Structure 1
Amino acid sequence: MNATGRVVAIVLAAGSSRRMGGRNKLLLPFGDQPLVRHVVTTILDSQAAPVVVVLGYEAAAVREALANLPVAFVYNPRYAEGMTTSIQAGVAAAPADAHGYMICLSDLPLIEASEYDQLIEAFQRAYVRDPACIIVPEFNGQRGNPVLFAAYYRKAILSEQRLTGCRGLVQRHPEHVVRVAMATDHILQDLDTPEAFEALRRIH
């Protein structure tokens, strides 16, 4: 990896899947493995390093689903308060020499390793010009995930008060945002409901 663009993947795997009808969506089968293992394995195939997985709800079961994968785990005791607390736990656990954080959702199973790499490479190019860059993927003008933040924002992320993620941080720094047009809608295809899960699994 380019020494001026080391990107840590922070995988948010702490949520309680409230809209999934009582099932932990991360443990549901996707292909021949649990959804979370499919997603994390794909991220491991990308240029991101290391990969930090944030646990919370049913932490032991999620950890077991990721057994023997070369990832670092961090437990977020505040996971029920909102996504921001998990992002903060992951950023706090990231190596001090990281140049950027790729905030990965664990329910976007269609994103391919090459698409993660496209975003990492966009970060590396932007970082040379702007060490405060933020990379936002888009498909047909619609923003998706993962978003990549330069380590410049570490303190801002750790002190963020909004509990729904770091969207506000993106909105407050439009001059540093680099939008990356993606060729597919994979960055938008999250699985929040049983219907979405079954529809996506049928075509996978």
Structure 2
Amino acid sequence: MFLSAIVMACGKGERFGSNKLMAKLKGKELIRYTLDALPAELFSEILVITKYKEILDLVTEYPAPFFGIYTDDPEGGQDATIRCGVRNLSSNSDGCMFIAADQPLKQKSSLQKQIALYQQYFQKGEEHFVALSFQGKKGNPVIFPKSSYKELLEITDGQTGSTVLRAHPDALVLSEACCAAEMMDIDSLEDLREVERILLQKDGF
């Protein structure tokens, strides 16, 4: 199975006040938590879609299958980020994990479990959307089958991958995360401080 990943790293960070993905969390850039959580050995390509030069430079520190892809969309909208990512996927791609870059508490074991579930369906010739979840509530990331790429390319301003998911409700499968903290994202400085508190008390996490 040729599995792709698209790391969505274009957000404007309006509530945060700056490029939140380069903010330091325990001395480490926020985006590195996402990149380091990805089980790179299970992917054939990992595309980091961004409009920020500093993130493109950071991605060069990671070996293949990590690749930085520049998008010049001034708004950093999810729809443009998704379309840019899908356009740059290899023609061999059998499925793609779309993952937000601002959820630093993702656990590699949860992503491995999610990928294994997608692969089980793929090997049976079944195409499903597999979303990470907690206690039955869908979260991020989501693995999209190749058959949905055309629909993703057709989403318009203000739409997201959820638009495509809603068109295929019976094809969605949930994969349980290790803990609720994996669903936390960083939108403000207060969020960053809360995540840092959790990391400092990692035994509880």
Cα pair 2:60 2:68 within 8 Å, conserved: no
- State TM-score, norm by structure 2: 0.88
Identity among equivalent positions (%) equals: 22
- Please name the residue that 2:92 is paired with: 97
* DSSP 3-state at the match of 1:101: strand
User: Structure 1 residue 16 and structure 2 residue 9: aligned?
Assistant: no
- State TM-score, norm by structure 1: 0.89
Cα pair 1:26 1:35 within 8 Å, conserved: yes
Match of 2:140 among 138, 141, 145: 145
Match of 2:59 among 39, 49, 66: 66
Number of aligned residue pairs: 197
User: Structure 1 residue 180 and structure 2 residue 175: aligned?
Assistant: yes
Deviates more, 1:42-51 or 1:157-166: 42-51
Q: 1:161 to 1:39 in 2, by over 3 A?
A: same
| Unaligned stretches of 5+ residues in structure 2 | 200-205
Aligned pairs (5 A) from 1:40-189: 40-45=35-40, 47-56=42-51, 59-70=52-63, 71-78=66-73, 80=75, 82-189=77-184
Q: Once the two structures are superposed, what CA deviation does each residue of 1:109-134 show, in whole Å capped at 9, x if it has no partner?
A: 11122111111111111223454310
User: Structure 1 residue 193 and structure 2 residue 188: aligned?
Assistant: yes
Q: Give the partner amino acid of 2:154.
A: S
- Please name the residue that 1:26 is paired with: 21
* DSSP 3-state at the match of 1:77: coil
**Partners in 2 of 1:72 and 1:181 — Cα distance?**
28
Q: Give the partner amino acid of 1:66.
A: V
* DSSP 3-state at the match of 1:145: strand
| Unaligned stretches of 5+ residues in structure 1 | none
Q: 1:120 to 1:44 in 2, by over 3 A?
A: closer
Pairwise CA RMSD? 1.7
Cα pair 2:133 2:176 within 8 Å, conserved: yes
**Partners in 1 of 2:72 and 2:156 — Cα distance?**
16
Deviates more, 1:140-149 or 1:175-184: 175-184
The CA deviation at 1:187 is 3.7
